[in-house]
Every structure is written in C-alpha cells, then in structure tokens.
Structure 1
C-alpha cells in the first residue's frame, strides 16, 4: 500500500525523536522512500548518522551545505513527496507551522509542500493542554493537516497524562488508512440526500432562534459522497460554506419547515439519506412582521415543536432505502442515541458527545460512535471532519453491497 510512496519525515527536537528510527525502518520495509529533515535541536536527541543509515539517504538539516555550497531546496522537497510527516511535532514546531515562522528547513519545506501533511504531537501534559497549543493544533487542522493524536501514559517528566507521541506502528497505520481511500467502497450511480447546517427560526425580521452548527460535518459528508461517485442533493441551512463539486446539487433553506419540505420532496428519489443538520426543536408560533421594540424587562415567546425530519422520513422509508441520523448528546449518550435509532426507524446513527473535547458544533474535528440496529458500536478516535466523513460513508456503503 505504501510501496513506491515518497515521504518527508520532519524531526523536531523532542525526546520522542528516538521513535523516528523505528518509524523510518517500518516505512522503508513497506517499500517507501524516506527523506529525513531534522531541526538542529533534533540532532541532540537522535543522530543524523542513525537516520541516514536507516533511510539510505543523506539527512537534511541546513539550507545549504557549508562545505561545498550545495543548496537544499525546500521547494523541490515539497514537490517530491507524496506526504510529509512531522514527528515528533513539538509545541515550538507546531507554533511555527501554524503561524508561518519559516526559520529552519523543516518549516520552509512544510510551507512549500503541496502534499498531505501528517502531524504527530509530543510534549508534556500541561504544554499539550495549554490554550496556545490547542489553538495551534486547531489552526493546523483548519489548514487541512492530519493530526495523529498522542497517547496517554508516563511522560519523560515522570508525570502521567496525554502527550506521548503515537507509536511508529500507529503512524504507519494512519498513512495506510489515508492512502487506501482510493480503494474504499464507491457509490457511483447512487443518489444520496444530505441535510447540513442549522435552521433559523424567525422571531421577527431581524432576530431568530438558532444554534452553533457551522454545517462543516454535513458538507464534508456531501463532498466525500460526491468524490465516490454518488449524486448528492445537499439541503443546507444558513452557512458560509460552499460545495462546488459537480455531483452536488445544493438546495438552500432557512427554517425547519423549509428543510422538512425540501427533504420530503427529495427523499422519494434517493437511495439513502444522511440527516446531519442541526434542526431547531422549537419555532415561534407567531413571528412578528416588524422589528419588536423593547417595551419591558421581560419577554415571553410562545414556541411550538418543529417536525422531526429524520423521524418523518423514517415513516416514508421504502425497502432498499438507507436512513442515517445524528445524535449530539451531553449525558446518557449511548442510551439516548439508541432510543432515537429505534424511534426514527434509522439504519444507523452517528453519535457525538459534547463531553468529548474537539467534537460537536463549529469545530474542524469530531469524535463519533456509530450504532446500528443490532446495537453494535463502532468507536472512532478524534479526527478531522473530512476523515470522519470517510468513516460514515464506509458504513453507508455496507448497506448497498
């Protein structure tokens, strides 16, 4: 699977640099080519001679060779590679990557790379939890980088917590998973309905009831379906996102009622539907036609329940159609998701919990559990929403075999 692939391994100055010897050996054993780029501090943790012996290539550290003036082109390296792996990625290196501080060959190569980039963080637990580190990791994810989560355990400081760089075998597995995407189940000829984003329930011409949904999960699902050949109808609530794939037909709606009408109309013509939108549960009974003025210190708005769209489609589901729902929970997550699965006549449900850091609304990542009718649970690690979309579509494809 990795045979013939070309990897840049960027090693920064952390104690976990010793793991890069095993990582390089595993990649070479898979038939891959590995070009190692080290920061100057990384040389204090593992020698260039070790890495050169294992990779069978000269190690790059400086922009040029001071002995003969040969230039180590970060542009050429960035174009050469099929993927770049930054491991270990220290807090310092991730800060530079997130903010474009191009003061060494590793960072300039990263900024020049046109290939996918995988980042394996490593640091002590308090550094890992620091707001600046979390922000930098979120920024790197937003750039499209793939973060390979560190493990929890005993750290170099002697403390116990999260911050151990993923094991070489885990990093290789992540690379195999990524490069195996072209071999994933295809859905050419299938017609799939996807709902995404929030709904806005009008209070008056300038105010509404809504939620924090960005639509990122639904759009990632629509794009992955389209990439695999499906014809996608995307019913989208208000969002700033765009879907430019030619296989995606987008229908814009605002309210829960409009989304219900659009989904019911389209559902008759599709093979399956994934209801990932965050639809408002309640809507004002009598929205005002003009802006409401402040007349007192209190205001009561009479609300009525909206129609549960997934449940409505569940009553109309025909043989052969597949219906997928979402559950965002704060407590008793699995139990509540199971109830929704049965009540709405779903084939499987995607559960995410606000208790999981990095999951939920307006984030570039998600952590899900897929539950099917047989109560089988598939739990997944925290991933980018694009990667989560792949996992969901893999599950969907099982029903079309």
Structure 2
C-alpha cells in the first residue's frame, strides 16, 4: 500500500458494488483505498446488498452508502449526475455479468447503471462471475464492446470459486485493484483533443449603469460550462472565460472570471493562441456611455435618459485572419425568430467557421434550462440536431470539432 498511497492520496473514488459473493472483498477494497488517502463513496446494488449491508460500507467509507435511484432527496439534486461527476475515478467491483451487459448496451435501470451511463470519468471494472458465465459468448461480446468504449479491466483471476468450479472468474484481490486504480490515475488521459487548447466564453456580462444597477441578460452559463467539461473529457487544455454565473468551478479547467464585455475580450485575447474558440457567452451588446459615479435617483415625474455605446464584438475580433486566429472559431446565436437565417447572416458577418443557433423564446425553456435544440450552421450547410441535454450537445459538438481539426491536419500532411 505504501507505494500506491501517493497516487490515490486525495482522490475521490466512486465504488459500485455488484451482486455476488465477491462483494465481501469490496469492504477490504474500501479499507485499503482509505488507508491510501482516498475518499470513497459507495453505490451498493440490490444484488450486492444481499451479501453486504449498506451500514458496513458507510462505517468503512465514513460516507453515506447510495442504493436507490429514486431517492427523493438525492434525485431532487440530480444525484446520479452529481455522483458521477464529483468522482475522479469510477470502479466497479465486483462487476457481475449482469452489470457488464448493462454497461455494454447502455441500459440505465438502477442507480449503478444510470451513474455508469452518465459518468464522464474513466471506469475500471473488476469482473467476478462463474467461469461458464465469463466464457459465454455474450459476455465475451460485452467485454469486447466495453474495451472498445475505453473501459479498463483488472482481472478476473483464475482459481477455485465459491460454486466449486475452477477457472477464470474470481475477482482480482483488493491490493491488485488499488494498484490498477493508482496506475490509471497516474496516466494522463488521452483523447482526440490531447495537446490542443480550447478557449470558451460562457455566461452573461454585467455592464454597470451606476454602483448598483447594470445591464445584463438571462444567460445561466450552463451551455458554456458544459462545453468546458466536454473539451476536458477529450483531453484538451481548457480556458473558460466566464461572466457572473452561479455555477461551480470545473476541476482541471483554467477559469477566468470577468464581469464586463471589455474584460471578457481582454481575457480572451490574453488566452490566445488557441486551437478552438467557442464563443458561447451571451455578451451584452451595449454598455452605458458613462457609468454614473453615484446611484441614479428616481425623481417623481421625471424620466431618465440613458446614453448607450456598443460593446466590442468578441467573436468578430478573434475571427479576424492572422497568426492568432484559432483554427476553428465557433459562435453561438440565441435567437427568438428566423433562427437559421439570422445564424447564416451572423456567420458571414463575423467571419466564424461555424454558428450554433437555437431558439431561446420563453416557451422553449432553453435559456437557463438543462436541455437545448440547436442548428449547426457551417460553410457546407445546416444540420438540425434533435433536442438533447446541454451536456450531450456539448459532447457532440466537441467531437465534431476534434474531427474537423484532425481532417485539416491530415490534409495539410
């Protein structure tokens, strides 16, 4: 354990315990991870609870043990998403044939399988099952699929089983699982954007009128932050320039917090060069020509006139051809009418490569919500994407962006 301690020290491990006699070994796994300095949260499946109690894991982990997808309090806080995103690494031990099948087919029928479908972290599985089940063609197909999906395996070991048979199917020993976790945590995760710098703007800007009031909009920053998570998951170095939002920082992302459009432009220019720029912020078009030094007072019967000036155009500025221009510049267009026509015009006027456009009319619920429906406008035409979560849209868009950069590089070579 001493050698692995520094590699799991301070890491957050989410352990999913499947059903089977090997579930008792998961208690020892929790103990060893805690000794190594890791924090451990446990999801105990219904089958796993037939062999080990939730209380046993709670005592060892010093955390609540999670069992139910339909826990009212947890799911009011989107528990299955929170659990998957707050971990540094997800481990399934024991991973039964049933759990492997659910993972391979994308089934989400309980808390464990739903978390596995929602996670953006690397997953390590320690299979444990009867030798005939491990050797069955269906299990072999599932394992092949999971390996292709990037799932990591430790074991199974070969030996005598509780059922009396002998062969491969025994869960790897806790010490071997801890070593596998430490090894994966020490490896830099590679993806199609590894070595690339992705620059993202997010949220609104606040343009002060006086020390109390400001001009702003209803942007929540959820889409921009989803883009940052997606870029990070693909291996990119990510700079997120964000206006005032009520969202937590993203671990591993360089966050630059600003308030005004001018501050956002300055931060963006300071962050260049970048390979991809995604201008998802809803920047205020105007600011006060002169900010009042004192609070503007309301006087009975008197109207107040405001003199406004245009803010700098961040998207158009970074899209100007030159050595600092990112290879791929993507703008966002939040519209309430003639969405595609306005997006086409914006792409031409700003010099952007792509525009992601959507209808943010109040009836859509997109502004400030968790779902979106977009049109991707490129030089080749318009793609109408179906409704999906903002995280799903971000992952799809960044995958397309990575593919586009790869194609450009291949053509140049």
TM-score scaled to structure 1, two decimals? 0.56
Alpha-carbon offset, residue 265 of structure 1: 2.3
**Structure 1: distance between partners of 2:405 and 2:358:** 24
Higher mean displacement: 312-321 or 254-263: 312-321
- 2:229 corresponds, among 202, 208, 223, to 223
Superposed CA offset, 1:229-270 (max 9, x none): 101111110012123322x11111100111111112223x21
Report how many aligned residue pairs link the two structures.
260
Structure 1 segments unaligned to the other structure (5+ residues): 1-5, 9-62, 65-69, 77-83, 87-92, 101-109, 120-143, 146-175
1:122-137 alignment to 2 at 5 Å? none
Which residue is equivalent to 1:116?
Answer: 114
Which residue is equivalent to 1:263?
Answer: 268
1:340 is aligned to 2:346: yes
**Structure 2: distance between partners of 1:230 and 1:341:** 25
Which residue is equivalent to 1:36?
Answer: none
1:305 is aligned to 2:310: yes
Q: Answer yes or no: is the 8 Å Cα contact 1:226–1:245 preserved in 2.
A: no
Superposed CA offset, 1:212-240 (max 9, x none): 11101001101111111101111110012
Superposed CA offset, 1:71-98 (max 9, x none): 699979xxxxxxx9x9xxxxxx999995
CA RMSD in angstroms comes to: 4.0
**Structure 2: distance between partners of 1:209 and 1:257:** 14
Q: Answer yes or no: is the 8 Å Cα contact 1:196–1:234 preserved in 2.
A: yes
**Structure 1: distance between partners of 2:292 and 2:362:** 38
Structure 1 pair 184–389 and aligned structure 2 pair: CA distance change class (3 A): farther
Provide the secondary structure at the position in 2 that maps to 1:346.
Answer: coil
1:2-401 alignment to 2 at 5 Å? 113-116=111-114, 186-246=192-252, 248-267=253-272, 269-297=273-301, 298-318=303-323, 321-355=327-361, 358=364, 360-375=366-381, 377-401=382-406
**Structure 1: distance between partners of 2:393 and 2:71:** 23
Provide the secondary structure at the position in 1 that maps to 2:319.
Answer: helix
Provide the secondary structure at the position in 2 that maps to 1:315.
Answer: coil
Superposed CA offset, 1:134-157 (max 9, x none): xxxxxxxxxx79xxxxxxxxxxxx
Higher mean displacement: 313-322 or 294-303: 313-322
Structure 1 pair 74–203 and aligned structure 2 pair: CA distance change class (3 A): farther
Alpha-carbon offset, residue 116 of structure 1: 2.3
Structure 2 segments unaligned to the other structure (5+ residues): 1-15, 19-45, 56-66, 78-107, 120-144, 152-188, 407-413
TM-score scaled to structure 2, two decimals? 0.54
**Structure 1: distance between partners of 2:150 and 2:391:** 12
**Structure 1: distance between partners of 2:387 and 2:116:** 14
Q: Answer yes or no: is the 8 Å Cα contact 2:336–2:361 preserved in 1.
A: yes
